[in-house]
A = this chain, B = another copy of it.
């Protein structure tokens, strides 16, 4: 059992705010400022350059990677922290493409990176940039193929080199079946890259059990690492010593401080380091992960499902104009609830002004994230009441929102 009233106490939450946007940016862990002050004053201040060894700054990305590995079902020493999620997507997809290329023959002839239009745009953009770099003249015929989320499985053909999918849709919260898609991809000779941005800390992930090839994710959403906290990358053990880093920076070198003239990839996931680790950001993230040590993902998931189910029930009973965009079935849902509403942008602004913080995603998604570490039933019910009050009383008769028109 996790004591969620105790974990809630570990976050700073502004008075009068119900924070349902932890799927965008987690709140401040109360212990984080002190941890940061310690790293700045006692480590940077006192040790200066010797902090890299004395304070363990250089080893920290591996250690933090292992703490995250536990939350995403990854093998120990196969998760590395650093850079941003977009960079990690580039690394993972580039390495996946190079694995296919290294096989030669039919594998090397595969030309498609397959994704879906529920993927976060930056993943698509990074894949576009990678394709332009790999194939600047277009002579290789490489292609980013973006299909509907429901059509991913049927598009896992022998043209596809890499399947690049975000498990949970950032707008609707619809969850892919990682195990089934990975199995089908493998059966068709495809290397998989999973983006766990809306999975890590939101629901149990079983990378090892699914035999996922690569995974990436961010730590500032459900993991509460702070704005711009570093991203992570997972490489399956079977690829870890052969995956070729396109972003071959010195800290991924087998002997960074030998200052050799040519790159030699380091062992395993260490080669996915690029440049100097973000020591200060890592301090805040480490403090955030201390709270995760008090729970486990099965417990979080059960609680998250309860909260999401309750929110759907409460909001639907109160606000007939809101159309559920998230799957009602918890097994195919992440840890967020989204509603479609034509005037959703204005409505969300009004809801936020009343202290319930969700967010809006074009064209019409009102999005609310549920994070058991600091959101409880009382918050959910109170949020539904405020949303009702905004939608029915504040907006109902305002012709510019056309609320009454829409539902009557």
Residues of A bordering B, CB below 8 Å: 12, 14, 17, 19, 21, 24-25, 27-28, 32-33, 36-37, 40-41, 44-46, 48-52, 57, 83-87, 90, 94, 98, 101, 117, 120-122, 124-126, 128-130, 132-134, 136, 146, 218, 220, 226-229, 231, 244-251, 253, 257-263, 274-282, 284, 352, 357, 359, 361-362
Contacts and interface: CB of A to CB of B under 8 A. Distances in A.
Given A136-B134, A250-B125, A275 B87 contact: yes
A253 B121 contact: yes
Contacts of A261: 117, 121, 124, 146
Nearest to A123: B250
11 contacts: A19-B48, A21-B48, A24-B49, A40-B284, A83-B87, A86-B249, A94-B133, A98-B136, A122-B249, A125-B253, A126-B248
Contact of A36 (B220, B246, B280, B352): B280
A36 B120 CA distance: 30
Instruction: Please provide the 4 A-B residue pairs with the shortest distance between their CB atoms, ordered closest to farther.
Output: A84-B275, A122-B250, A129-B248, A86-B249
A101 B133 CA distance: 11
A44 B227 contact: yes
Contact of A228 (B50, B244, B262, B280): B280
Contacts of A229: 280
A278 B49 CA distance: 21
A291 B17 CA distance: 37
A45 B27 contact: yes
Given A50-B352, A125-B249, 16 more contacts: A19-B48, A27-B44, A84-B274, A87-B275, A94-B133, A98-B136, A125-B250, A125-B253, A129-B263, A132-B244, A220-B276, A227-B277, A227-B279, A257-B362, A259-B361, A278-B281
Contacts of A86: 247, 249-251, 274-275
A129 B37 contact: no
Given A83-B87, A134-B134, A246-B132, A48 B357 contact: yes
A37 B45 contact: no
A254 to B, nearest CB: 11
B28 A85 contact: no
A277 to B, nearest CB: 5
A32 to B, nearest CB: 6
Contacts of A90: 247
Contact of A250 (B37, B121, B362): B121
B357 A248 contact: no
Nearest to A226: B280
Contacts of A134: 133-134, 136
A316 to B, nearest CB: 25
B279 A12 contact: no
A138 to B, nearest CB: 12
A84 B85 contact: no
Contacts of A49: 21, 24-25, 357, 359
Contacts of A33: 36-37, 40-41
Given A21-B48, A86-B247, A276 B227 contact: yes
A351 to B, nearest CB: 13
Given A146-B261, A247-B90, A41 B24 contact: no
